[in-house]
Amino acid sequence: MKVLIVGGVAGGAGAATRLRRQSEDAQIILFEKGEYISYANCGLPYYIGGIIKEKEKLIVTQPELLRSRFRIDVRTKSEVVKIDREKKTVTVQNHADGTVYEESYDKLILSPGAVPKRPNLPGIDSEGIFTLRTVPDTYQIDAYIKEKNAKTAVVVGAGFIGVEMAENLKERGLDVTIVEFLDQAIASLDPEMAAILHRHMRENGIKLLFGTGVQGFEKGDGLKVKLTGDREIPADVVILSIGVAPDSRLAKEAGLELGVGGSIQVDDTFATSDPDIFAVGDAISVRQIVTGDKTLIPLAGPANKQGRLAGDNVLGQRITKDSGVQGSAVLKVFDMTAASTGLNEKQLKAQKVPYQKTYVHPSSHAGYYPGSSQLSMKLLFAPDGKILGAQAVGFDGVEKRIDVLATALRLGGTVYDLEKLELCYAPPYSSAKDPVNMLGFTAANILRGDVKVFHFDEVDSLDREKVTLLDVRTPDEMKMGTLDGAAGIPLDSLRERMSELPKNKPVYAFCQVGLRGYLAARILVQNGYDVYNLSGGYKTYITAK
């Protein structure tokens, strides 16, 4: 069997090597239009920041290795410009010598990736405006900053790549402003979780302009970024990171069916509408495992795994079906980490999926062992307890918790499973009740009816006449800030002082992170009060403000 693969990075290289492991007989040709295959897209921002210093570190696998170890015919600088489905051939443009030729196939795998969006704004083609996708993009940005001795940068878009670039440009000594149309960074997080990162970015000297659009660029004495509201800011260099679009040009011209956002439509074996053509990676739409809807989730993990499966399926001997994508993602922001999996609250609302939520702010490891820090975590779950999504932000142990939650979500787990999980514990690493268990306990308490909760976004609209807002923290803590109109009774005197609370109104209790509020709720409920506890406590409320 002769298999041609278009695209030599995450999905393409993965498909090629898997295919070889499954078949010593297959003839495999890998076409890559650029100079490099199997490069570390995800590492590119860190080369610009000087964290990764050697150019060769960005190339994960050299073509020679795929040739010698896997007998894959790797053709770099070779762009597939056309697919002829009738003749089962592709047309290849060799960018090294200018020749054009045809190559026949039995099966074809497409993994052309995505293209960074570049809006058609006035001045967009001015010198100094870059997108980042490839190794050459990286070298160009690096060289430009050096050559122009750039001092100021504007990053347009506060997604993963935008925030990573902002951090790396800052590390390199530039004065950095992020301009973002939405009112938050990292759209996979809900706003109150993203707010923790916003503060950290600002503390590290990044300027954040939210709710701000870019209207164009003006080149005069330096580059000016024209913003909505008649504002403008100067920039020696601009990085556009406003998202990517699936690269489906070849597929479209070949008449293959397209799906969401112009992506290549595939079935659950990664076959396109033509059974001899498969597609994987950023170019396809995937099934979101929580809702089952088709969507775009352009991430390296899924692309690699899809390539591996397509490498199997293309042979037709053993068909492995795709089990969907959940969108687990992690981000370093200076010394903080943010991670998430599954759907967030905005998505659940938009898709009308019934959900409940809980927040916890536990220590990353036992508080008495040096070096622990606070984690902020949010869990979204269905009324039957099924895990729908999770987010965490903090300094230590963030991604290991989200990885556990991602595993539980993938396996169809519930909040009751989280209660039971037996996770590694010794004081330098965790607590005997791991933060993941804490999420399980608090969520299960809600579902079992052990506690009723209210949330940070309901606080301001609570009618102070009709409810008793009760701060159960200490007077010293209350002095640092409390909710408007709150009465104060510290938890440890609540049993003695509870007669101060009218019984004819519900009590809305809160503490710093939610634990003492829960204990107060349990005391009061057992004494005949109708009580709600503020999930995540004052910390979640004030962070979201």
- Active-site annotation, residues: 42
Quick check: 162 and 192 in contact, CB under 8 A? no
Residue pair 85/101 in contact (Cβ under 8 Å)? The answer is no
The CB-of-409 to ligand FAD minimum distance in angstroms stands at 17
The residue nearest ligand FAD at its CB is 281
Residue 399 CB, shortest distance to ligand FAD, in Å, is 11
Nearer to ligand FAD, 393 or 521 (CB): 393
State the minimum distance, in angstroms, from the CB of residue 109 to ligand FAD.
Answer: 10
Residues 214, 227 contacting (CB under 8 angstroms): yes
**Structure tokens, 161:** 């790549």
Question: Between 79 and 471, whose beta carbon lies closer to ligand FAD?
Answer: 79
| Residue 117 or 448 with smaller CB distance to ligand FAD | 117
Percent helix / strand / coil, the chain, rounded to 5: 30, 25, 40
Q: In which element (H, E) is residue 508 found?
A: strand 507-510
Compute the distance between CA of residue 124 and CA of residue 128 in angstroms, rounded to an integer: 10
Nearer to ligand FAD, 165 or 201 (CB): 165
C-beta closer to ligand FAD: residue 20 or 33:
33
Residue (251 or 380) nearer to ligand FAD, CB: 251
Residue 323 Cβ, how far from ligand FAD at the closest point, in Å?
17
CB of 227 to ligand FAD, least distance (A): 24
Residues in touch with ligand FAD (CB under 6 A): 6-12, 31-34, 41-42, 44-45, 79-80, 111-113, 132-133, 161, 247, 250, 281-283, 298-301, 303
Burial 114-151 (b: 16+ CB within 10 A, else e): bbbeeeebeeeeeebbbbbbbbebbeebbeebeeeebe
Q: Minimum distance between the CB of residue 307 and ligand FAD, rounded to whole angstroms? A: 7
Strand 222-227 versus strand 214-220 pairing type? antiparallel
Residue 545 carries which side chain, given as an amino acid letter?
A: K
Q: Which residues of 463-487 are buried (b: 16+ CB within 10 A; e: fewer)?
A: eeeebbbbbbbeeebbeeebbeebe
Q: Are the C-beta atoms of 389 and 370 separated by less than 8 Å? A: no
Is the CB of 34 or the CB of 397 nearer to ligand FAD? 34
Shortest Cβ 161–ligand FAD spacing (Å): 5
**The 3-state secondary structure of 307-342, one letter per residue:** HHHHHHHCCCCCCCCCCCECCCEEEEECCEEEEEEE
Q: What 3-state class would DSSP assign to 376?
A: strand
Nearest to 400 by CA among 365, 432, 366: 365
